[in-house]
A and B are shown apart, each in its own frame.
Chain A
Amino acid sequence: MRTDPDAVEAALDSARLAVFRHEPDWSGGPGGIAGDLEWIGCRYGVDGIDGQGLAALLDAVTDSDRDSLLGLFALAGGAVRGGEFRLKGAGRDIHLSCDALVESGATGRPLRITGTIQDISERRRFEETLNDTLRAKQTLLAIIDACPVSISVADARQPDVPLVYVNRRFQSLTGYEPAETLGRNCRFLQGPGTDPETAAAIRRAVAGGERIDTRILNYRKDGTPFVNELLLAPIRDGDGAVTAYIGFQSDVTEEARREEAERQRQRMEVMGRMMGGVAHEINNLLQPITLLTQELSDRHPDDADAPYLDMVLDCARKARRIIGDLLAFSRPGTHMAEPVTAGALVAATLPLVCKAVGPGVVVNERTDDAGSALVLRADRTAFAQVLLNLAGNAAAAMGGTGAIAVTLGLEPADGAAPRRARITVADTGCGMEPAVLERAFEPFFTTKPVGQGTGLGLSVAYGLVKEMGGDIALSSTPGAGTVATLLLPEFEPPATA
């Protein structure tokens, strides 16, 4: 087959490929740079150095790349050599790639070097922009990954909307590795305590391509529950079709716990106000009953019917005590810790506890003087909440019948710990297995059937006791009963100057 030289030349030109031959002249020194560089053909496409020799080429190369070019012509080296170097340009550098074949003579020195030089500036520029784009995208991904917010993305075009991306915070929040989550629908975070209504609302929103902001009970990989504040938003393509969903998760368990404590407190406050009103009415009814009965007794001291009047009086006095008890615990206002003796605190709360546990449960109280006299700094309502939650659990553990023992004593100072009031609530109920005991304080942990317990009782108690600077602990024997112990530190008034 014949090759048309013009066609070859045209092809070389459009490929911006020059072909050269160099016969080094070693007489000038070991550099071998002397000697002529001969361009083969007439058009070479290498701008600026067409038709010029090796010296011109060397001059044109940027300083930093000159060694790369010299390597091609050096004394030592393989038979096949390659390198890249840039020409100093007015504007952008010209990027050249050179491949050379070295024929050695009898002395082992290069005799003739034949090679190609190609202008690869365009390719290099393209690769650089590609790199920049990739780098920018990677930076963005790294930023999203490092975000302190849990971020998840699901593909809305695949059946059942599987997760396609989760960031690092999602992993640390849920305990699941990306490999365990990608490709699955995110509902694996839900569990027995999750409200099905909430899940259904999410399902409807996702099916309709809508945004939704909700709270849902989720479980980490290790089984611990947390309240997940979930925000889901659709991502649409140019035509408005939903292609993906982005989900933000945040753990708001503490917030939920505080809100529940606040709700309980408000309920008690409303109750307190109501009882205040009732007490006012009843006191005004008891007043004439008491005074007129006593006045009648006084006016008819020897009447045979006098015992009847005594009975009326006795009833009025009992009624007065009940009203007094009710009033003692309830108090309006927000959490206000004030100095109060442990004895007064317990005494004010017990009547309420007795009423709350129901008629089948008796509450036995044992307080010692040293414990009663200890001055604490506590909010009456908060303390009542704690005792009510503990007593409620005790009553439930005994199936609504039995006795609860409440004790108050003094815990002597111990090292750095101040004197503390030790308050215990003991029941003879079902007790707890170690696995239950271990998790009892967890928010939403409950062994009660759905709808009967929120599982927040102990969690709320824990938070309130900590607020008072105290401690709360449970000990339990399965089948025998449970003792809850509160330790509340003595109030030390700030020293006055």
Chain B
Amino acid sequence: MARILVIEDVPSVMFSLRMVLEGQGHKVATAGDGAEGLDRLRRDAFDVVVTDIWMPGKDGATVIREGRAAAPGTRFLAITGGSPNSANGASPGASPGAGIESLRQEDFGADRILFKPFERQELIGAIDALTAGS
């Protein structure tokens, strides 16, 4: 059982993530945007943060950077479906012209990354890998 914080702005995506993770017996907390997520992270301890990358307000890459400073022991799983206003899906701060190739290479500072829409087993496997040995 792991303590997991999910930061995601689309409610239906959030709901489905929680269903799967709670189904695996994890304890899940949620936040609807980056600022709220960082707040939660500073107050409570989490084993894993699952964060969307493109969100209005604070983007996922920033959440991961600031989150690591606030919670050094926490592992980060980035999930992304591309950006709504560019074809490359890179984070808002990424250099313009970064291609899909560099998207595949870019990790947004996360320990792991999953590309939406990923499958249930990929999610479960990623969480297992991040919590293994802890």
Cβ-based interface call for A286 (8 A): yes
Residue in A287, A290, A327 with the greatest tally of chain B CB atoms within 10 Å: A287
Cβ-based interface call for A484 (8 A): no
- Contact residues of B between 41 and 85, Cβ < 8 Å to A: 54, 81-85
- Write the chain B residue with the least CB distance to A291: B16
Known contacts: A327-B89, A333-B97. The answer to whether A279 contacts B82 by CB under 8 A is yes
Residue of B13, B54, B83 near A288 (CB, 8 A) is B13
- Write the chain B residue with the least CB distance to A292: B16
- Write the chain A residue with the least CB distance to B81: A283
* A273 & B85 in contact (Cβ 8 Å cutoff): yes
- Contact residues of A between 284 and 340, Cβ < 8 Å to B: 284-292, 294-295, 298-299, 316, 320, 327-328, 330-334, 336, 338, 340
* A273 & B86 in contact (Cβ 8 Å cutoff): yes
Q: Bound state CA distance, A273 and B97, in angstroms?
A: 12
Known contacts: A316-B117, A320-B117, A336-B97. The answer to whether A327 contacts B82 by CB under 8 A is yes
Distance in Å: Cβ of B10 to nearest Cβ of chain A:
5
* A284 & B81 in contact (Cβ 8 Å cutoff): yes
* B81 & A287 in contact (Cβ 8 Å cutoff): yes
* A281 & B19 in contact (Cβ 8 Å cutoff): no
Cβ-based interface call for A275 (8 A): yes
Residue in B13, B19, B83, B99 with the greatest tally of chain A CB atoms within 10 Å: B99
Residue of A276, A299, A320, A334 near B86 (CB, 8 A) is A276
* A280 & B23 in contact (Cβ 8 Å cutoff): no
Cβ-based interface call for B27 (8 A): no
Cβ-based interface call for A380 (8 A): yes
Cβ-based interface call for B105 (8 A): no
Cβ-based interface call for A469 (8 A): no
Distance in Å: Cβ of A471 to nearest Cβ of chain B:
25
A316 proximity list for chain B (CB < 8 A): 117
Residue of B19, B99, B121 near A331 (CB, 8 A) is B99
- Contact residues of B between 83 and 118, Cβ < 8 Å to A: 83-89, 96-101, 116-118
Cβ-based interface call for A272 (8 A): yes
Cβ-based interface call for A277 (8 A): yes
* B16 & A295 in contact (Cβ 8 Å cutoff): yes
The dominant DSSP class at the B interface is loop
* B88 & A331 in contact (Cβ 8 Å cutoff): yes
Distance in Å: Cβ of A446 to nearest Cβ of chain B:
31
Residue of B54, B86, B118 near A290 (CB, 8 A) is B118
B101 proximity list for chain A (CB < 8 A): 338, 340
The dominant DSSP class at the A interface is helix
Known contacts: A288-B16, A298-B23. The answer to whether A280 contacts B81 by CB under 8 A is yes
Known contacts: A292-B19, A298-B23, A331-B99. The answer to whether A287 contacts B87 by CB under 8 A is no
Residue of B12, B13, B98, B100 near A327 (CB, 8 A) is B100
B23 proximity list for chain A (CB < 8 A): 295, 298-299
- Contact residues of A between 259 and 287, Cβ < 8 Å to B: 272-273, 275-277, 279-281, 283-287
* A291 & B89 in contact (Cβ 8 Å cutoff): no
* B117 & A287 in contact (Cβ 8 Å cutoff): yes
* A287 & B16 in contact (Cβ 8 Å cutoff): yes
Distance in Å: Cβ of A106 to nearest Cβ of chain B:
111
Distance in Å: Cβ of B79 to nearest Cβ of chain A:
8
What are the interface flags for A185-196 relative to B under an 8 Å C-beta threshold, 1 for contact and 0 otherwise?
Answer: 000000000000
Known contacts: A284-B116, A290-B119, A340-B101. The answer to whether A330 contacts B87 by CB under 8 A is yes
What are the interface flags for B8-51 relative to A under an 8 Å C-beta threshold, 1 for contact and 0 otherwise?
Answer: 00101101110110010000000000000000000000000000
Q: Bound state CA distance, A320 and B85, in angstroms?
A: 19
* A295 & B117 in contact (Cβ 8 Å cutoff): no
* B96 & A333 in contact (Cβ 8 Å cutoff): yes
* B123 & A291 in contact (Cβ 8 Å cutoff): yes
* B120 & A295 in contact (Cβ 8 Å cutoff): yes
Distance in Å: Cβ of A289 to nearest Cβ of chain B:
7
* A284 & B87 in contact (Cβ 8 Å cutoff): no
Q: Bound state CA distance, A280 and B80, in angstroms?
A: 9
Q: Bound state CA distance, A16 and B86, in angstroms?
A: 96
* A276 & B89 in contact (Cβ 8 Å cutoff): yes
* A338 & B13 in contact (Cβ 8 Å cutoff): no
Residue in A291, A292, A330, A340 with the greatest tally of chain B CB atoms within 10 Å: A291
14 A-B pairs, CB-CB below 8 angstroms? A272-B87, A273-B86, A275-B87, A276-B86, A276-B89, A280-B81, A283-B81, A287-B12, A291-B19, A291-B120, A294-B120, A332-B88, A336-B99, A338-B99
Residues of A within 8 A of B (CB): 272-273, 275-277, 279-281, 283-292, 294-295, 298-299, 316, 320, 327-328, 330-334, 336, 338, 340, 348, 380
Known pairs A287-B13, A289-B117; list 16 more (Cβ under 8 Å): A273-B85, A273-B86, A273-B87, A276-B88, A279-B87, A284-B10, A286-B117, A288-B12, A288-B16, A290-B16, A291-B20, A295-B120, A327-B89, A332-B97, A333-B97, A336-B97
